[in-house]
Amino acid sequence: MKNRITSVFLPAVFVLLSVVGCKKDYDNGSTGGGTTNPPAAINWSKAADSSTGATLAKFWNAGENYFNEKNNGTAFHYWPQAHGLDILVDAYLRTGKAEYKTYMDNWFAGVNKKNGNTFLNEFYDDMDWNSLAMLRAYEATGDQKFKTAVDAVWADIKTGWNNTMGGGIAWRKAMPYYKNTPANAPAAILAARLYKKFNNADDLAWSKKIYAWVKDSLYNKSTGMVYDGMNSDNDGKRNTTWKFTYNQGTFIGAAVELYSITNDAGYLNDALQAANFTLTDNTLTNFTDNLLRDEGGGDGGLFKGVFVRYLTQLILAPGMVSSDKQRYANFLKQNAEILWNKGTDKSYLLYGTYWKNPPGASTDFTTQASGAMLIEAVALLKEKGIL
């Protein structure tokens, strides 16, 4: 991510369920005139079809094969592309439709070209995100080009580790002294997933090493809060004031991956503590609505989606107590119901920065992607019989 804080081919043709002439039970919500229909049962799979289809229809740049920064602008930003690919993988795994694979192939060509004919980048966290998404694309499709790209980027990510502040991967190449959660927790997830897929012991060692550094350096063991970073001004100070949902999410994700490999309950306990902190801290969850907070647009628009993705993985983890599993699942379901019934103007099928409030005719791709990830996550939990 270049801005750390902000107010924070032939493309497939999608028939958008949201714009057909008659409303369906899964299509209730705010109308263009601002009135609200009574909430009704939501078919989450069909809602996900509409949500992801609209995201593609309104943000996909069919000429250059990447996701536009806005639905009414064509700017390119590297790190959100990863989350666009993740949504494509979600939809492909849910439906098996070849159209999504076509988009993935085109994404690979377009993002590589737009990034200077490489997936390497100045920012280690940006490379983490794209590597994670491409590894999922490889696992879903078996297409070797994704694996080849992941190998090259992972090799570059590892060069970001240095002994300043006792270890950790730097945020960016120009600032090797600045260490943060966004560069390290996703890297720990990536290394663990590479180990699970290819059984390279070095990858597991990397995952454990990175996770241990994050836990020792940027995790409050008493509360479950994950700090954003340290030493940004080369002064050794830890930033204890920034609270972001995606830091909680990626720490949860790393803990879940290592728990699944080692069966060490300590990792699961870490994940539970970080999740509980997020749901019980009133700067991360709005207690009035029981919704994840508004973290603004731009980079911040994606933070909730990242948290949702990894809380979902915690819900699906073996060994979860049923009460915790159901509580987290119900929390996501409530967020999704409010988003779909109140926060989505069906004239546009766009999502806003706070899931209770429709954005109108324009929104950032980052913001849209978070909403689309939430709808896909709840569709997955429904499919798994948890909801």
Q: Domain range holding 276?
A: 17-383
Burial class (CB in 10 A: 0-12, 13-18, 19+), 367: buried
E-assigned strands of 83-169?
none
Asked whether residue 3 is domain-assigned, the answer is no
Q: What was the pLDDT predicted at 34?
A: 42
DSSP characters for 187-231? Answer: HHHHHHHHHHHH--HHHHHHHHHHHHHHHHHHB-TTT--B--EE-
Tens of pLDDT, residues 214-253:
999 999 999 999 999 999 999 999 999 999 999 999 999 9
Which whole number is the average pLDDT over 300-324? 97
Q: Does the pLDDT at position 24 exceed 50? A: no
Asked whether residue 323 is domain-assigned, the answer is yes
DSSP characters for 337-369? Answer: HHHHHTS-BTTTTB--SSTTS---S--BHHHHH
% of the chain with per-residue pLDDT over 90: 89
Asked whether residue 2 is domain-assigned, the answer is no
Q: What was the pLDDT predicted at 31?
A: 34
Tens of pLDDT, residues 149-177:
999 999 999 999 999 999 999 999 999 99
Asked whether residue 226 is domain-assigned, the answer is yes
- Whichever domain contains 166, its CATH number is 1.50.10.20
Global pTM reads: 0.92
Q: Does the pLDDT at position 25 exceed 50? A: no
- d(C-alpha 82, C-alpha 78), whole Å: 8
Burial class (CB in 10 A: 0-12, 13-18, 19+), 16: middle
Tens of pLDDT, residues 353-373:
999 999 999 999 999 999 999
- Sign of the four-CA dihedral 341, 332, 298, 46: negative
Task: Count how many domains the chain has.
Answer: 1
Asked whether residue 37 is domain-assigned, the answer is yes
Asked whether residue 377 is domain-assigned, the answer is yes
Q: What was the pLDDT predicted at 40?
A: 75
Asked whether residue 6 is domain-assigned, the answer is no
Question: Model confidence at 23, in pLDDT bands (50, 70, 90)?
Answer: very low
The helix/strand/coil state of 107 is helix
Tens of pLDDT, residues 250-299:
999 999 999 999 999 999 999 999 999 999 999 999 999 999 999 999 99
DSSP state of 32: T
Which whole number is the average pLDDT over 322-347? 96
- d(C-alpha 130, C-alpha 200), whole Å: 21
Q: Does the pLDDT at position 27 exceed 70? A: no
Q: Does the pLDDT at position 26 exceed 80? A: no
Q: Does the pLDDT at position 125 exceed 50? A: yes
What string of H, E and C letters represents the secondary structure of 246-301? HHHHHHHHHHHHHHHHHCCHHHHHHHHHHHHHHHHCCCCEECCCCEECCCCCHHHH
Q: Does the pLDDT at position 35 exceed 80? A: no
The helix/strand/coil state of 21 is coil
% of the chain with per-residue pLDDT over 70: 90
Cα angle value 332/337/338 (rounded, 5°): 100
Which whole number is the average pLDDT over 192-203? 98
Intra-chain end-to-end CA distance of the chain, in Å: 34
Burial class (CB in 10 A: 0-12, 13-18, 19+), 18: buried
